[in-house]
């Protein structure tokens, strides 16, 4: 038990320093990718952002980090001269909500009610203390199951799909453009984070991915929480990662293997390269192990 706790702590400490250290924000550029119709994806540092622009004003999905807010605003200004009217947070994590205080001065922030609760108080994630947001950075519109925005020529459907990444996860589906923003329920080409201390589990993440797969088709463009613009096929691959990881860790636990032994065995070669995002394979296996042991 002590060993397990110690190795998890070490894994998270490594993740905190390696992947979550604050970058040099001055050097970050915001890249704009046209997805379809009025929908764009913005990449900078942190969670992928979605944008809908048009005659009804701008919707921004997630806002990364406060020091990037001016650059994000400049990138949006290249697409539209209308103001950012709404910001939607897919979940509470600091790499998706860090710009809230900057945008919340003028835009209305929308999020699941659990997201507002978490953002209103100090939190600890990955061993790092996250300060509560100031009043104008908090969501002013909250929902329990979901809501729709009717703007820029389509219904934009927001749905609470909790328990995979956090307890407040929401996805955003652009019904006419056929674009889905998954938040961090899905990552593309890199291991995801599962926030076990804030309601996440790999078991539920797998079930939630099945729900999303049933909602979309081969033509759907998928904006994942992290990683490049994706497709349904990429989501199937991501589901396979979850399936393989759970199967390997479960059968190792049944053979009474320790986390250290599981890490030594690693994952099949097929998943090489997925360790180049936030977590290396040892850290990912530590998350899977803890989720299966505790949830």
Binding residues for Zn ion (CB under 5 A):
93, 184
- Is the Cβ of residue 53 or residue 110 nearer to Zn ion in the bound state? 110
Q: Which long-range contacts (CB under 8 A, 24 or more apart) does 129-134 make?
A: 130/94, 133/97, 133/100, 133/101, 134/101
- Is the Cβ of residue 93 or residue 290 nearer to Zn ion in the bound state? 93
Smallest distance from the beta carbon of 225 to Zn ion, in angstroms? 6
- Is the Cβ of residue 93 or residue 181 nearer to Zn ion in the bound state? 93
Smallest distance from the beta carbon of 91 to Zn ion, in angstroms? 6
- Is the Cβ of residue 154 or residue 184 nearer to Zn ion in the bound state? 184
Smallest distance from the beta carbon of 281 to Zn ion, in angstroms? 20
Tell me the helix, strand and coil percentages in the chain, rounded to 5: 40, 20, 35
Beta bridge partners of 111: 142
Report which of 164, 291, 176 is spatially closest to residue 239, judged by C-alpha positions: 164
Smallest distance from the beta carbon of 149 to Zn ion, in angstroms? 22
Report DSSP letters for 137-198, one per residue. Answer: GS-SEEESSEEEEEETTEEEEEEE--SSS-TT-EEEEETTTTEEE-GGG-BSSSPPP--GGG
How far apart CA 10 and CA 36 sit, in angstroms, is 42
- Is the Cβ of residue 91 or residue 239 nearer to Zn ion in the bound state? 91
Smallest distance from the beta carbon of 131 to Zn ion, in angstroms? 17
């Amino acid at each position: 038990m002590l060993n397990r706790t110690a190795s998890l702590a070490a894994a998270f400490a490594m993740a905190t320093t390696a992947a979550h250290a604050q970058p040099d924000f001055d050097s970050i550029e915001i890249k704009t990718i046209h997805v379809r119709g009025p929908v764009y994806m913005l990449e900078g540092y942190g969670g992928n952002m979605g944008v809908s622009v048009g005659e009804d004003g701008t919707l921004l999905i997630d806002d990364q980090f406060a020091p990037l807010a001016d650059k994000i605003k400049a990138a949006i200004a290249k697409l539209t001269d209308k103001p950012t009217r709404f910001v939607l947070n897919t979940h509470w994590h600091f790499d998706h909500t860090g710009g809230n205080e900057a945008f919340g001065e003028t835009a209305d922030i929308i999020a699941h009610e659990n997201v507002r609760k978490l953002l209103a108080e100090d939190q600890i994630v990955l061993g790092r203390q996250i300060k509560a947001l100031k009043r104008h950075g908090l969501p002013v519109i909250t929902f329990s199951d979901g809501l729709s925005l009717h703007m820029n020529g389509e219904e934009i459907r927001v749905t609470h799909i909790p328990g995979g990444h956090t307890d407040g996860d929401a996805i955003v589906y652009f019904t006419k453009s056929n674009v889905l923003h998954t938040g961090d329920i899905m990552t593309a080409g890199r291991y995801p984070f599962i926030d076990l201390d804030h309601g996440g589990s790999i078991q539920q993440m797998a079930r939630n991915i099945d729900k999303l797969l049933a909602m979309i088709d081969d033509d759907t463009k998928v904006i994942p929480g992290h990683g490049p613009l994706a497709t349904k096929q990429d989501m199937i691959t991501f589901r396979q990662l979850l399936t393989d990881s759970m199967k390997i860790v479960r059968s190792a636990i049944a053979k009474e293997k320790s986390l250290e032994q599981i890490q030594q065995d690693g994952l099949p070669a097929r998943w090489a390269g997925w360790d180049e995002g936030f977590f290396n394979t040892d850290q990912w296996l530590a998350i899977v192990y803890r989720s299966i042991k505790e949830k």
